Structures are given as C-alpha cells and as structure tokens.
A and B are shown apart, each in its own frame.
Chain A
Amino acid sequence: MTRWWNQLLSRVYGWVPALSERAGRRLRRVDQVPLPRLAPLATPLSASRVGIVTAGGVHLAADPPFDMQDPEGDGSFRVIPGDVAVDTLRITHDYYDHRAADEDVNCVFPIERLRELVAGGDVGAVAPRHVGLMGHLSGRQIERLLGRGTDAITKLFATDGVDLVLTVPG
C-alpha cells in the first residue's frame, strides 16, 4: 500500500475508534516475549530517574526518519537526549494520526511534562537519554526490534542508571 493510503487509514481510525479497536483485536499477540517478574521500584518515585520510550515515531530532525516504505514497518530505534528542545523533534509514522503530536510532541513523548514533574518534586530526575521507535511492526521488523534492539535499549537505560521507564504508544 502507498503512504497516502496508510495516512488516510490512520485518520479514519481516529474518526471511528471502533475500527481501530477491531483492528487491534486482530493483531497477533507477541507470545515469544515472556512477561518478566515485576521488579519493585527500589527508590521512591520522588528520587527515581525516569526514562521514556515512545512508539510514536519521534526522532531528532537531524536523525534519519523511520522507513515508511517497508510494509512491515521499521524496527530500528532513535536516541533522544533528555535535554532536547522539542522543536528539534520530528514524527515519522504513517500508521496513526499524529497531527496533534506534531503540534505538541508531549501528546506522545511527554518530555516537557516529565521535566515539570521533576521541578515540582514528584519525580527525581529526567534520564539523560530516551528512545523513539515506531509501533505497527510485523514480521522481520518485530524480530529486528526484539533481537538486538531491545537489548541495546535495555543497556542504554541501565548504563544511565534509570530506575523506571515509561513506554508511550502512538
């Protein structure tokens, strides 16, 4: 399918939520990923360093956009600095209507809201690095993300001493 068709479909899903719910129910469950045992938060939220993973296709404008030509999506990821200026971010994702997030990226990547919660004392610190990826993956691109991608993302957050990661869909 062409990009314009995917973009049109994403808007139709926004207009008629029942259609997106139906499509969601038909998606294949990723059974090969066992759920981990819950790790208790070692420090209170007010002292925790928090990172964000957004599946909304957010990336630095200076970085390569996600590949919209492969019908299986793009299983790569982009690193976003914690002190990023939001006007240097872009969204490349044809499978959801991101006009609202184009206007305010916090809709899918709440980095400014996280900074404010740190300033207000609710959260300890903003992680120095965050991750942007795109949802709507299938086939080989899921394998790509679940293989080296998730290992690299996990190591990135572990290296940075992140206590808690918030994952946000598009």
Chain B
Amino acid sequence: MLEGTPAPRNVFVPFRLGQVLGEPGHVAQQQAVLRAALGAVTGVADSGGLLELPFRWKRGPYPVPIGIAERPSASIDAQRDLDGVGR
C-alpha cells in the first residue's frame, strides 16, 4: 500500500497492522519509533522516497523513555530489550 500510494516522505517498520508505532503500553518502543520517523524528514532525498527503520518487533534495545513510567508488563519487555534477553 505504501508503495502504491506514497506520501512525500515515507518510513517503514515491520510491525503489525494496527500497531505501527509499537506494542500497546510500550512507551520506550513507541517513543523510539516516533523519534526515528520524525528524524527521517531529513533522510529522504526524493519525493515518495522510503526509508526502512531499523526496528524489529519486540526487539530492542530501546532507550529509557522520557517522562512517564511504563505499565508493568511493558516495563518488563523494555527491560528485557535493554538487557538483550530473548534475542
């Protein structure tokens, strides 16, 4: 769909439909994806261009999120990511 109807600048993450920013409650993951997507504004050279962001589902590491504490389950996932567990 993205290739058929591109925006001026496009980024791709191999995440599930309906969870393109990341898992529900996974603040660190969502922040990282959003930060990278916005940062890509200077990385796409041609209109309709596409950048594949270097994220994998449930894989990290993700930096400690800004601002608020995560929900318990997401905190566990984030800590696993930071520790490299399950890779």
New contact pairs (12) apart from A13-B17, A96-B18, A101-B19, CB-CB < 8 Å? A17-B16, A30-B5, A35-B48, A38-B47, A100-B16, A100-B23, A101-B18, A106-B21, A113-B27, A114-B34, A117-B35, A166-B37
* In contact, B20 and A24 (Cβ under 8 angstroms): no
Instruction: For B42, give the chain A residue with the smallest CB separation.
Output: A41
Contact code string B55-71 (vs A, CB < 8 Å = 1, else 0) = 00000000001111000
Q: 6 tightest CB-CB pairs across the interface, nearest first?
A: A104-B24, A120-B66, A24-B1, A103-B24, A116-B67, A35-B47
- Which residues in B have their C-beta under 8 angstroms from that of A45? 38-39, 41
- We find that the number of chain B residues with CB closer than 8 angstroms to chain A is 37
What is the distance, in angstroms, from B13's C-beta to the closest C-beta of chain A? 11
B-contact 0/1 string along A1-45, CB 8 Å cutoff = 000000000100110010010001101111001011111010001
Report yes or no: B4 in contact with A113, Cβ–Cβ below 8 A.
no
Contact B16 A101 (CB under 8 A): no
CA distance A56 to B18 in the complex (A): 7
The answer, yes or no, to whether B8 is at the interface (CB within 8 Å) is yes
Within the assembled complex, what's the spacing in Å between the Cα atoms of A20 and B5? 16
The CB with the most chain B CB atoms within 10 A, among A96, A116, A122, A170, is that of: A116
In the complex, A104 Cα to B65 Cα: how many Å? Answer: 16
Closest B residue by C-beta to A21: B1
With beta carbons under 8 angstroms apart, the residue of B16, B38, B46, B65 that contacts A123 is B38
Q: Which of A38, A104, A115 contacts B46 (CB 8 A)?
A: A38
Q: Across the interface, do B47 and A107 meet the contact criterion of CB distance under 8 Å?
A: no
Query: Contact at B65–A116, with CB atoms within 8 Å?
Result: yes
A169 & B35 in contact (Cβ 8 Å cutoff): no
Would you list which residues of chain B between 31 and 87 have a CB under 8 Å from chain A? 31, 34-35, 37-39, 41-42, 44-48, 65-68
**When A50-B38, A106-B30, A166-B37 are in contact, do A14 and B8 touch as well, CB less than 8 Å?**
no
- Please determine whether B68 and A116 come into contact, CB atoms closer than 8 angstroms: yes
Q: How far is the CA of A20 from the CA of B22 in the complex (A)?
A: 18
In A103-130, which residues have CB < 8 Å from any B CB?
Answer: 103-104, 106-108, 110, 113-117, 119-120, 122-123
A170 touches B67 (CB 8 A): no
Q: Does A164 contact B (CB under 8 A)?
A: yes
Residues of A within 8 A of B8 (CB): 35-36, 38-39
